[in-house]
Amino acid sequence: MLVVFTIKSIAILGVSEVTRSEYPILVAASTINIANFVQRLDTFLTLLLVCGGFIKLSIYAFCAVSGAADIFNVKKSSQLIYPICFIILISSLLMASNHIEHRNECFGKIPYYLHLPLHIIIPLSLLLISWIQMKIREKNGNSTT
């Protein structure tokens, strides 16, 4: 969907406007004018973005609660809802006080401390470990027969 929105934004606004705009899809939506009646749809798009962000945050929080319940062997995961949500709230307040700081944080530190380990190092390590385990099982299986 991100690629489709980007292509649509470039087709509507052009490359220079898309690169200068913080939210190009909102700028593109503000240009909609159908028969001088249907206008200013950027308000509805903003509402959709906020609802989408809420749903995304809810899914992340649910996964955090479920994962913490599995890690700590908690029978009722509902006991962890308030502590996890409190941690999310405090960490979001401490991370950045405004949008500019948030963007600097995301583009400065997050790729190195979060994306690199979670997207490259851990998956490659797990692949290597599983490959080694498979080779050990094959060796033990072939030597006993």
Full domain range(s) for residue 128 = 99-145
Q: Within a domain: residue 65?
A: no
- Tell whether 136 is covered by a domain: yes
Cβ(69)–Cβ(80) under 8 Å? yes
Any domain includes 71: no
Q: Are 98 and 83 in contact (CB under 8 A)?
A: no
Count of domains forming the chain: 1
Distances from the Cα of 99 to the Cα of 2, 43, 104, 109, 129, angstroms: 20, 20, 9, 15, 40
pLDDT digit string, tens, across residues 38-78:
787 888 888 988 999 899 999 999 999 998 999 888 889 89
Task: Supply the pLDDT for residue 34.
Answer: 81
Residue 124 predicted with pLDDT over 90: yes
Per 3-state DSSP, the chain is made up of helix, strand and coil in percentages (nearest 5) of 80, 5, 15
Nearest Cα to Cα of residue 24 among 34, 14, 33: 14
51 in a structural domain: no
Determine, yes or no, domain membership for 43: no
Q: Which two tokens stand for residue 114?
A: 């979060």
pLDDT value of residue 79: 92
Q: What is the mean pLDDT of the chain?
A: 85
Sign of the CA dihedral running 8, 13, 18, 23:
negative
- Least confident window among 4-13, 29-38, 129-138: 29-38
The answer to the question of residue 27 being in a domain is no
Predicted confidence at residue 41, as pLDDT, reads 81
Within a domain: 134:
yes
Q: Which helix (H) or strand (E) holds 38?
A: strand 38-39
